[in-house]
Amino acid sequence: MKLRTLFLAAALAGLAAGAVTAAEPQEVREGLMKKIGGSMGALSAIAKGQKPYDADVVKASLTAISTSIKAFPNQFPAGSEANSEASPKIWENKADFDAKAASLGADADTLLAQLPADPAGVGAALGKLGPHCGDCHQVYRVKK
């Protein structure tokens, strides 16, 4: 009987912990955007000469952008509009929103395959990635 009680208690504790740690879609997408923004900032610092070129930082930043943007469109289930900077236009034109995310992901993957080798290359990479951010934010982000 004690073993059964212990098992049940452990199972309930696991369920409770899962419920506490489950993040709302708004929190997940904000976290993903912060990863992308931080990665863009790291690349920008290299391109501007504020930080020395570091292939590991470039690779990690491009990888973070690629993986984050690929997960991003899945964080917009119906009903998750409240308490966020997400425009209702996302749900009105989800196919375009998803396509914009996929395009950024594809460009990040292309840059990963041919990693920029110096600050000028990182600057060129930013020139390719940056417009994606502006295009999407102009349409799909509510301005504060």
How far CA 100 is from CA of 12, 46, 97, 116, in Å, comes to: 41, 26, 5, 23
96's enclosing H/E stretch is helix 94-113
Report d(CA 120, CA 90) in Å as an integer: 34
Tally of CB atoms within 10 A around 115 = 13
Strand partners, 86: 141
Inter-residue contact 97 to 73 (CB < 8 Å): yes
Report d(CA 77, CA 114) in Å as an integer: 34
- 133 labelled ligand-binding: yes
Inter-residue contact 35 to 71 (CB < 8 Å): no
Binding-site residues for heme c sit at 133, 136-137
Binding-site residues sit at 133, 136-137
